[in-house]
A = this chain, B = another copy of it.
Amino acid sequence: MSQQRQGNASGNAGAVPAFPDLPEATIARLPEYLRALHNLAENGSDTISSEGLAAAAGVNSAKLRKDLSHLGSYGTRGVGYDVALLVDQIEYILGLDQRRAVALVGVGNLGHALAGYDGFASRGFRIAALFDADPALVGETINGLIVRHIDELARAAVEEGIAIGVIATPAGAAQGVADELVAAGVTSILNFAPCVLSVPAGVDVRKVDLAIELQILSFHEHRKASLTALPGGRGAATVGGANQEAVGS
């Protein structure tokens, strides 16, 4: 263990410390740990055991320890992890120390809510610009930001240093918007439109489809119902574990 990070040998002043390559599954859980740690810090905890943090994040402790060990972690045996230090570590790894600017395209029903969602601001992001193709929406002010026409995307992206784009348009418009985002230099896209996006290599896309989540739940409902209906089936109340399946590939 004890990866680089923290005063690395080469006289290089901080920054760019030969990036550790973490398993994707671990990366997807880091934000969850971070949230739990922030809660703990607010409650005045200085240190936390893997058991305690795991409970707060909804995972088992072995998984948590292995995850943290991947980033050359700083725990003390017999004591636990230093909350403040761990927060800094994870925020650094996730690149949250720099407040990233996000462009949101599509301020219809869902986009409007996202523009006003304070969970972004409170967790390291700044919605820097809003766009829409509908002239009726352009000019409207949401949360102190003016909705601009999508044609201004390229210019605004450069001005604001935007690297992440959020697509909240109807499915039909999403691919076009994605192309424009990529052309404007955006290299990460969060897609709420129910469709597959095609983007060049080097651009990351994550998709969130609200209906799909419900459909997965519907499957489990269907399964549970068919089990209880079964002649010898044991009751639903005791079937299956209460697994808190989190989203994230």
Contacts and interface: CB of A to CB of B under 8 A. Distances in A.
A218 B28 CA distance: 11
A239 B19 CA distance: 14
A54 to B, nearest CB: 10
A28 B242 CA distance: 18
A86 to B, nearest CB: 15
A213 B190 contact: yes
Nearest to A236: B202
A164 B217 CA distance: 8
B194 A119 contact: yes
Given A110-B113, A219-B27, A196 B240 contact: no
Interface in A23-43: 24, 27-28, 30-32, 34-36
A197 interface: yes
Contact of A188 (B57, B118, B195, B221): B221
Nearest to A208: B247
SS class of chain A's interface: helix, strand, loop or mixed?
A: mixed
A56 interface: yes
Contacts of A242: 198-205
Interface string A75-102: 0000000000000000001111000101
B244 A247 contact: no
Interface stretch (A44-52, A148-156, A223-231): A223-231
Nearest to A96: B218
A109 B143 CA distance: 12
Interface string A177-217: 00000000001111000111111111111111111111111
A163 interface: yes
Nearest to A212: B31
Nearest to A218: B95
19 contacts: A19-B227, A30-B219, A31-B212, A36-B196, A96-B218, A109-B117, A119-B210, A164-B214, A188-B217, A188-B220, A188-B221, A196-B244, A202-B242, A203-B242, A205-B243, A205-B244, A207-B244, A207-B246, A212-B248
Q: When A and B form their complex, which 8 residue pairs have the shortest distance between CB atoms, in order from nearest?
A: A95-B222, A113-B113, A58-B196, A188-B217, A31-B215, A31-B212, A123-B211, A245-B249
